[in-house]
A and B are shown apart, each in its own frame.
Chain A
Amino acid sequence: MPLDYVHDTQAVFRKVMDGMAQPGKTNSLAKQMIQIDHPIDCYHSTFLTMVTLLDSEATFHIKGNHTSLVQRISQLTLAKHVEESEADFIIITADLPQAGLISAIQSAKKGSLIDPQLSATIIIETPELSSGQEWLLKGPGIKKVKRLKLAYSQTINQAREEKNQEFPLGIDIVITDQVGKLVCLPRTTVISEVSK
């Protein structure tokens, strides 16, 4: 059965909403992923998140050389592909080196104090969520603390912290993986290393 753009995107949205409301919680898009019946040049979970959130009123930027993917997403959603610094959604595919992610975080728009909602959401692909170093998450949406395993480096964390240092300004992050898992890290979440 092909992807149902009404009901499947609704289900995906609820997973993203639940993830944003409870940072660090892992949700799965596996059920919707199997509906995708055409090849696509990114993780299916990333594709689902894009078609759920993008339309002609939103802008996006896919970092790296992904001409066919950009074209495909533009055709499907009517969203405009713009420069990284202007995009509402920035997509970092798994093949991009870490430096690309850091430069995306640095150049993403973070809103203004009067309109903090005019900030970017970065969708980051990682091969497998819940693997890698363990991190401590704190902030609204988290009961006390949450532990999350994530292939995430201290350098990335620093770039994110710098971007989010003046709340309400900042960026929100959605992390997707190959098997359809999804984790959100809104700007309010404070991430620190688990002390050894």
Chain B
Amino acid sequence: MTRLHHFAFFDEGSKKEIRRTILKAISIPGYQVPFSSREMPIARGWGTGGLQVTLSIIGKDDVLKVIDQGSDESVNAVNIKKLVEKTTGIAITEGTAEATIIQSRHRIPEQPLTEGQVLVLQVPAPEPLRSVEKSERQTKILHAEEEYSGAWLQLFEQIMKYGQTKTGADHPVYVADRYVMAPSPIPRFDNHKMNHSEALILLGAGREKKIYAVPPYTDVRSLAFEDYPFTVESFAEQACHLCGSTDTFLDEIIDADKDKVYYQCNDSHHCLAQVNGAIQGKGDISYA
């Protein structure tokens, strides 16, 4: 086979710089390490940060899973998979347990990750203090001084206005009791999966040129007040209409024609596995 690309698209120099950045990110959990983000063959905002991390760590023996909003088959996930597969020739999977590297946008898989796996999250806005401080120089000083009043005030203002915190996704977390970190736009439902995760979590922001990490078995606390504890999305005891799960993150699907609301698992692989498991559990089914 003629090789049209260098292995994993990047030149070795780019990989080395990103690799050194990743090591620093792991040794300073939650701290956003700057790196010289490369131009990628996909547009910024489509996961260039995550993709750069994935391409820098991936090897011939890896098995890759890419999800976008919980789905293995959405445009973003499919294109990233195609690019990595074409330039590395490695195996692609949809199975969460089989993957050694899972690149994801907006979700952490329902199935708990295990030691040795690496979760790469795509991050659009890595700076949790950006909405209170526009200047990068200033936010770096705020992080240096562990001055997080801005992050707390934001939540406090939401409580004053709405009676509760109103972070839809990307609810800020405290990592290893030192850095306040944006967990990427995962739902609050997924925040606890970062706390003492068995898998290493790497977060890449291509446009903002930052890489940060949460090592395994690291304290990750969602920011909350004693009298307003952290809460996750509630689905009012709804179940997935396909697999019947009640403990997963559900999407609300509105059928306007029938004026009906459905709930469906957001994690497509997990849902399918549940459905298949239920079928297998019934023993031999005759389809004749």
Taking CB atoms, residues of chain B closer than 8 Å to A9 are 12
Q: Please measure, in the bound complex, the distance between the C-alpha atom of A112 and the C-alpha atom of B141, giving whole angstroms.
A: 11
Q: Please measure, in the bound complex, the distance between the C-alpha atom of A151 and the C-alpha atom of B6, giving whole angstroms.
A: 42
Is the C-beta of A186 less than 8 angstroms from some C-beta in chain B? yes
Partner of A114, one of B16, B20, B140: B140
Q: Known contacts A58-B20, A114-B140, A141-B216; is A18 also within 8 Å of B31 by CB?
A: no
Is the C-beta of B128 less than 8 angstroms from some C-beta in chain A? no
Is the C-beta of B259 less than 8 angstroms from some C-beta in chain A? no
Is the C-beta of A66 less than 8 angstroms from some C-beta in chain B? no
Q: Please tell me if the beta carbons of A116 and B31 are within 8 angstroms of each other in the complex.
A: yes
Name A141's closest neighbour in chain B (CB-CB): B215
Q: How far is the CB of B217 from chain A (nearest CB, A)?
A: 5
Taking CB atoms, residues of chain A closer than 8 Å to B215 are 20-22, 140-141, 188
Q: Please tell me if the beta carbons of B217 and A121 are within 8 angstroms of each other in the complex.
A: no
Taking CB atoms, residues of chain A closer than 8 Å to B141 are 114
Q: How large is the interface on A (under 10, 10 to 19, 20 to 34, 35 or more residues)?
A: 35 or more
Q: Known contacts A13-B19, A114-B141, A167-B178; is A21 also within 8 Å of B26 by CB?
A: yes
Partner of B23, one of A20, A168, A188: A20
Is the C-beta of A172 less than 8 angstroms from some C-beta in chain B? yes
Q: Chain A, 102-146, contact with B by CB distance < 8 Å: what is the 0/1 string?
A: 000000000011111101010000000000000000001111000
Q: How large is the interface on B (under 10, 10 to 19, 20 to 34, 35 or more residues)?
A: 35 or more
Q: Please tell me if the beta carbons of B57 and A53 are within 8 angstroms of each other in the complex.
A: no
Q: How far is the CB of A140 from chain B (nearest CB, A)?
A: 4
B194-221: which residues lie under 8 A (CB-CB) from chain A?
196, 200, 213, 215-219
Name A187's closest neighbour in chain B (CB-CB): B27
Partner of B176, one of A6, A21, A140: A140
Q: How far is the CB of A122 from chain B (nearest CB, A)?
A: 12
6 residue pairs of the A-B complex, CB under 8 angstroms, read: A10-B58, A18-B116, A53-B23, A55-B13, A168-B179, A188-B215
The chain B residues found within 8 Å of chain A, CB to CB, are 6-8, 12-13, 15-17, 19-29, 31, 33-34, 57-60, 115-116, 140-141, 144-145, 176, 178-179, 196, 200, 213, 215-219
The chain A residues found within 8 Å of chain B, CB to CB, are 5-7, 9-11, 13-14, 16-18, 20-22, 52-58, 88, 112-117, 119, 121, 140-143, 167-168, 172, 186-188
> Given contacts A16-B23, A114-B144, A143-B217, could you give 20 more A-B pairs where the C-beta distance is less than 8 Å?
A6-B6, A7-B60, A13-B19, A17-B26, A20-B215, A21-B215, A52-B19, A53-B20, A54-B16, A57-B16, A58-B20, A88-B20, A114-B140, A117-B24, A117-B25, A141-B26, A141-B218, A172-B23, A187-B28, A188-B176
